[in-house]
Amino acid sequence: MDYNGTLRKMNNQYDEATGDVTYHLNLDNESVCNLNDAIGKEVTLSFSGKIFCTGCGKKIRKTYSDGLCYPCMMSLPQADMCILKPHTCHHHKGTCRDPQWGLDNCFKPHTLYLARSSSIKIGITRGTVPFGRWMDQGAIEGMAIGSFPNRREVGLAEYSVSEKMSDKTNWRKMLTNDVTDVPFEDYIDMAKATLDEEQKEHLIEEPKSYKLNYPVTAYPEKVKSCNLTKMPFISKVLTGIKGQYLLFDNEVLNLRSHAGFEIGLTVEG
């Protein structure tokens, strides 16, 4: 099968009954095929040399922040620094890039969570149980531990806890499945000891953990990252998918970092 279009980060689905993760190739903001079905098959991926901004659609030479052009990165609210650092939210100061966008996206319930991807990390996301966020990070286990009324408040809690535990994922360890087995309970106790009394009121009394199973036939011992600007043609057997990465034996390709790239993809057989 042949597919052509402009890349976005893969869409994913989680089956609560089995814990299985399914990925779909996303071209032009549409799911075009189930990539799990391509595991074990020869996959050919070619980059046309064209890149289009995921914000305004303009043809560009390089991307910033999830496929944006420089003007969009500097003007769109979803690319503001407070998205990466929610505790720096400045909506209340009247300086939000788009106040209505902030109300629609940031002033909604957000979740404080723990994820087991390399080490145990603390994180936040909008909504309740953040399956999508965990799948994007390649976490093999996740647990929502707090529910907060908005992004700024959960961001302040995350910032406080991140002084005691990581808020980052080591992508190399994640892709080699080098994962800690320390129980979540130790980190919940750490969070409780760090948060102030008002923040503790938002913690979930009996948090539930979820396991995630990824479509990977074998994990590599070492990983080498591919870049389509340097290697515009790849033809290899797909051995797995985890996070936003395609695995080809010891080489990996981060599709999210290539958002906006015009590509063609062929699956043999």
Q: Are residues 95 and 207 in the same domain?
A: yes
pLDDT of residue 223: 92
| Whether 111 and 205 share a structural domain | yes
* Closest by CA position to 241, among listed 206, 267, 261: 267
| Number of domains into which the chain is organized | 2
Q: What average pLDDT does the segment 138-144 reach?
A: 96
Q: Is the pLDDT of residue 163 over 90?
A: no
- pLDDT at residue 269 is higher than 80: no
Is there a single domain that holds both residue 93 and residue 195?
Answer: yes
Position 165 scores a pLDDT of 85
pLDDT > 80? residue 54: yes
**Backbone φ, ψ for residue 166 (5° rounding):** -70, 150
Please report the pLDDT score of residue 201 as a whole number. 96
Return d(Cα 207, Cα 45) in angstroms, integer. Answer: 41
Residues 179, 238 within the same domain: no
| Alpha helix stretches (DSSP H) within the chain | 70-75, 81-84, 99-105, 131-137, 151-161, 171-175, 184-194, 197-200
Helix (H, G, I), strand (E, B) or coil at 114: strand
Are 234 and 182 in the same domain?
A: no
Q: What is the mean pLDDT of residues 59-87?
A: 95
Mean pLDDT, the chain, rounded, equals: 94
CA-wise closest residue to 23 among 226, 217, 243, 219 = 243
Within this chain, do residues 177 and 113 fall inside the same structural domain, yes or no?
A: yes
What is the value of pTM for the model shown?
A: 0.92
Each residue of 196-234: pLDDT tens digit? 999 999 999 999 999 999 999 989 888 999 999 999 999
On whether both 21 and 107 belong to a single domain, the answer is no
Domain that holds residue 244: 2-73+216-267
